[in-house]
Amino acid sequence: MNLELKKAIDQISKDKGLDRDMLIDTLEDAVRTSVLRRFSEDMDVEVSYNDATGDIEVYQFKIVVEDDDLLNPDTQIELSEARTHDPSVQIDDEMGFRVKVEDLGRIAAQSAKQVIIQRMRDAEQEIIYEEYKDRVGEIVSGIVQRRDKGGWVVNLGRTEAILPRDEQIPREHYKRNDRVQALIIEVRKEGRGPQIVISRAHRDYMAALFRREVPEVDDGVVQIMGVARDPGSRAKVAVLSRERDVDPVGACVGVRGSRIQNIVQELRGERIDIVVWSADIATYARNALAPALVSRIVVDEEENLLEVIVPDDQLTNAIGRKGQNVKLAARLLGWKVDIFTESRYNEANAIGHGLQQVASVAEVPMETLLEAGYSSLEKLREATNEELADKLAISDARIADLRSAINFLAPVVEKDPEPSAVEWLKVTEEAETAREADGEKQED
C-alpha cells in the first residue's frame, strides 16, 4: 500500500487549495505520458489511481491476431501467446496486461514528477486567476517585495501584483516590506501566470475609498457621480444624495472632517473638493469651479463648450495653480471650458457685434468676412481696397461703405461696446446715400 502517495495528495490538496480529483487526474496523465515515452507512443495504455491502497495501476492493451499477422508488437499479440494467458481468447479480442510502474526507470519517474509539478502549478494559477478576475475595483493590501522594470512587485499573500510607475502617486516613495493599499484595475492571463495590476493613482481608487469610509456612499444613499484627479495634488469628487434629508457633502466630510481626513491621509495629503452634482450643466459647472465665483455661463451644446465668465478678480481662482482648477473641472464635467473675465468677454462681444454691423452696412455675409480671414475690425482696417475687392468680391462703393462703418465703430469699441441707436442710424443713412450716388453714377 502506497500510503505516502495518498498522504502527499491529501496534503497538497489542503495546502494549495487544489481539487483532489484534479490532482489524481494530473497524476494519472503524468504517469501515462512517462510510460509512452519510456516504451512506445503506439501503446494503448490506461492508468488508474487506487484510492484505497494509494497505488498507481498501469495496463497495456493489445489486440489478438493470427500467429503470422503480427505487425506491431506494441499494439498486437499473436493468438498462440495470448492463449498462454487466457485459453478462451479469440481473434480480435482485446487483452490487458499490467505494467509495473517500478519498471519505468529513474528518468521516466523524474519526467512524471516534472509533469505533475507543472500541472499543479497551472491548476494553482488558474485558481488564482478565477479568484481575482472578479475582484477588479476592489481595494487590496500587500507588502512591497521588490522593484521591477515596470514598477513595484507587491505580495498579496497567495500571489503577487504589479504596481506600475504610472499608477503610483507622484513623489510617493516605497521601501521593501512597506505595507501598501491599492485598487485592482486589471487581471490578465499570461504564460507565467495571472498578472494582477494595481493602482493608487486611478480615479476609481478614490471612489473606492469613499465607499469604504462613508457608509452613505456604500449603501447608495449618496452616489458618486464622477471623479477627476491630479494624483497626490488635488481632486474633485461629484456627489448626489438620493434622499432629501441627507447632505451629500456633509456625509462625505464627516464630523469635524473625520471621514475625508482618512482618505486624504491615505492619499498622502491630496486635496479633495466635494462638488454637488446637478443635471443642469451650468449649475454643475458653477459647483465644479469652486472656490471661484462665476458671473454667468454660456452653454454651447453643439460644440460641447462652456464659456465661463468670472469677475476680473476671480480669474486666478477659476484657473487655479498651473490651470489645475479649470482642468479638473473640465475633466469632471466632460465639457470643454473657456474662462473669460467680464471685461475681456464684453470686449470680445463688442468686437464681434461690430463685425456684424459692418457686414450689414456693406451687405456682405458675416460668414464671408470670417472665411476671408477678417475676424476683427482691426484686420478689416489694415486690408487694402484691392484685397477687399478680391477676397470679398464687392464694388468700390461697398468698400467705401465698409470703410465708413469701420471708422465710425473703431473708437466706439475702445470706450463703449455699443453705439447709440441715433448714432448708428446716422452712419447707416450716410452709407445708403453713398450707395444711391454710386448707382446714379453708373446710370450716367
Averages of pLDDT over runs of 10 residues in the chain (444 residues) are 65 72 79 79 84 79 88 88 89 86 59 67 80 91 89 90 92 90 91 86 95 94 95 94 93 92 92 94 94 90 90 90 92 92 71 71 77 78 86 85 76 43 47 56 51
User: What gap in Å lies between CA 434 and CA 400, rounded to an integer?
Assistant: 8
Q: Return the C-alpha cell found at 270.
A: 491630496
Q: Which domains does the chain have, with CATH numbers?
A: 3-124 (3.30.1480.10), 137-201 (2.40.50.140), 344-443 (no CATH)
pLDDT, position 342: 82
Kindly report the backbone phi and psi dihedral angles of residue 373, in degrees, each rounded to the nearest multiple of 5, phi listed first. Answer: 95, 10
Buried b (16+ CB within 10 A) or exposed e, 411-441: ebbeeebebeeeebeebbeebeeebeeeeee
| Block residue for cell numbers 460668414 | 367
pLDDT, position 103: 60
pLDDT, position 364: 80
pTM over 0.95: no
Residue 1: CB atoms within 10 A of its CB come to: 10
Is the distance from CB of 62 to CB of 95 less than 8 angstroms?
Answer: yes
Q: Among 184, 167, 176, which residue's Cα sits nearest to residue 143? A: 176
pLDDT, position 423: 46
pLDDT, position 70: 86
Angle at the Cα of 219 (from 214 to 221), degrees rounded to 5?
A: 85
Counting other chains too, the contacts that 126-134 makes at CB distance below 8 Å and 24 or more residues apart are 127/17, 127/18, 128/158, 128/159, 128/193, 128/194, 129/187, 129/189, 129/193, 129/194, 131/158, 132/159, 132/184, 132/187, 132/194, 132/196, 133/187, 133/194
Rg of the chain's alpha carbons, rounded to an integer? 41
User: What gap in Å lies between CA 82 and CA 78, rounded to an integer?
Assistant: 6
pLDDT, position 190: 78
